[in-house]
Amino acid sequence: MNAPLRRVGVVVMVLFGLLFANLNWIQAYKADEYRTSDYNGRVQVDEYKRKRGNIEAGGTAFAVSRETSGELTYQRTYPKGPEYAHILGYKPVNLAETGIEKSENDFLAGTSDRLIANRVKDMFTGDQTGGANVLLTVSKQAQNVAYEQLRNNRQDVSKGAAIAIDPRTGAVQALVSMPSFDPNPLASHDSDTATAAYNKLDQDPAGPLKNRAVGEVLPPGSTFKIVVAAAALENGIGQTTQIPAGSEWTPPTSGQPIRNAVQSICPERQVTLLNAVTESCNTGFAQLGVRLGADTVKEKARQFGFEDEDLTVGRLGEGGLGVAASRTGDMQNPDGSTDPAALAQSSIGQNNVRMTPLQGALIAATVGNDGRQMRPYLVRQVLGPDRTTDYYTAQPRELRQPVTGQVAKDLRDMMVSVVENGTGRNARISGYTVGGKTGTAQSAPNRPDHGWFIGFALDKQGNPVSAVCVVLEEAGSGGSAEAARIAGQIMRAAINDPGGR
């Protein structure tokens, strides 16, 4: 055989060798991956033969599976559509699931290792036992009020969020992000319909797929003054201590004066800390923050939960909705020294301070709950397909204690004064003690301000029953007052229908 033919023969043998090696690689090492891949049509058909478990709140199912006549036996549907969309998420055929549908997928789909007894039984009976049922903490009434009030707010803004929690347990009573979306088309068995629906939502500049309640951050404005007030109380300043104020104040090294919202707010040279909170005195808190120092302000914010990158809201400590970290941001000069102007702006919730509505609700809940911050959660219980086997029941636990009981009491007194005598009057609830703090935060240049409110409600015995945060994006003048009104409505609903605890 001549040399060219030998070379061709060697090349052919090498190619056959590579082909056989690839076949062995696929069969021996990649078989499981291909067999269980979401792109394997047989896997999808098998998954949809088993009825997916319900997601429920207050005895009502808000995510259900209904039998169809198609190749995929069960269709996932969401009876309340947009109202629960950012809690439940959606379970599509060819897209990635989100929300509680994602975090509890193994139980809902019946594939959890803890449900293996059902699968073994099915091998002998030929049945397809359904998935487990996930029961939420949500109050149906509070959720409905939050959704309707945000959707029809008096400022006519389309973007915002509200979240309410039980301060004693951390149970989420309501969670709404606006604009919302209808998850039903995303769960369509027609992949073209589902993809088109997703692309339309994904490209919407209003961002309906964003979960603003837990996943988006904005400057919190004057609501952040509660954190600064807590630091002050821990550093020798009491409710009646006089602090510098005035109609305007220019921080050292800065040519830009800080002013109050209107001239009638704390024009005096000095005011008490109580009055500074009640009136929302920018000049007072700007000077107070500089007096306390950047390290003290940032550390107190961290103790309340800022900078926490590990928090989720679902089952306690076991995943759930992802939570964006709230940040205090940079308050330094390029050489590392504190920038008084940046610190002053940060102390009134501007500069680089950013907060999620969940963090705002946690601040209010901590104050209402004697300084104890409970870990927030959404999943109350996981019941088996027979609804008798209990696979999980939430046991509330403390997340952190940012302040002592005495400091919490002082903060509570000051926040109650805001609602009774200051800017938070719209949040009042007959028969209950309500404390809160409004916030107006600058948005982008030449755009309206954001409106915030954080607050809590106490019953006649002084027990906290609900804490809430509402934000209306670019609401403009009156935005914080409207946020306070909505917050009061949500807390009233949560009191009447506390949901699962």
Catalytic residue numbers, as ranges: 222
CA atoms within 13 A on the CB side of 419: 27
C-alpha span between 401 and 385 (Å, rounded): 38
Which residues lie below 8 Å from residue 174, measured CB to CB, with a gap of 6+? 138, 139, 142, 143, 145, 146, 162, 163, 164, 468, 490, 493, 494
Token pair for 132: 């487990």
Token pair for 402: 């940012």
Beta strands at 464-472 and 160-165: parallel, antiparallel or unpaired: antiparallel
Nearest Cα to 212, choosing from 455, 474, 493, 457? 474
C-alpha span between 380 and 219 (Å, rounded): 32
C-alpha span between 158 and 165 (Å, rounded): 23
Q: What are the φ and ψ backbone dihedral angles of 171, each rounded to 5 degrees?
A: -65, 130
The amino acid at 311: L
Any bridge partners for residue 175, and if so which?
Answer: 163
Please answer whether residues 162 and 357 qualify as being in contact, where contact means their C-beta atoms are separated by less than 8 angstroms. yes
Secondary structure in 3-state letters for 251-306: CCCCCCCEECCCCCCCCCCEEEHHHHHHHCCHHHHHHHHHHHCHHHHHHHHHHHCC
C-alpha span between 261 and 1 (Å, rounded): 96
Token pair for 73: 């036996």
Kind plus residue range of the DSSP H or E element containing 110:
none
CB atoms near residue 54 (< 10 Å): 21
Nearest Cα to 242, choosing from 287, 210, 207? 287
Cis peptide before 179 (omega within 30 of 0): yes
Any bridge partners for residue 161, and if so which?
Answer: 177, 471
Any bridge partners for residue 332, and if so which?
Answer: 338
Q: 177: helix, coil or strand?
A: strand
Nearest Cα to 50, choosing from 32, 76, 26? 76
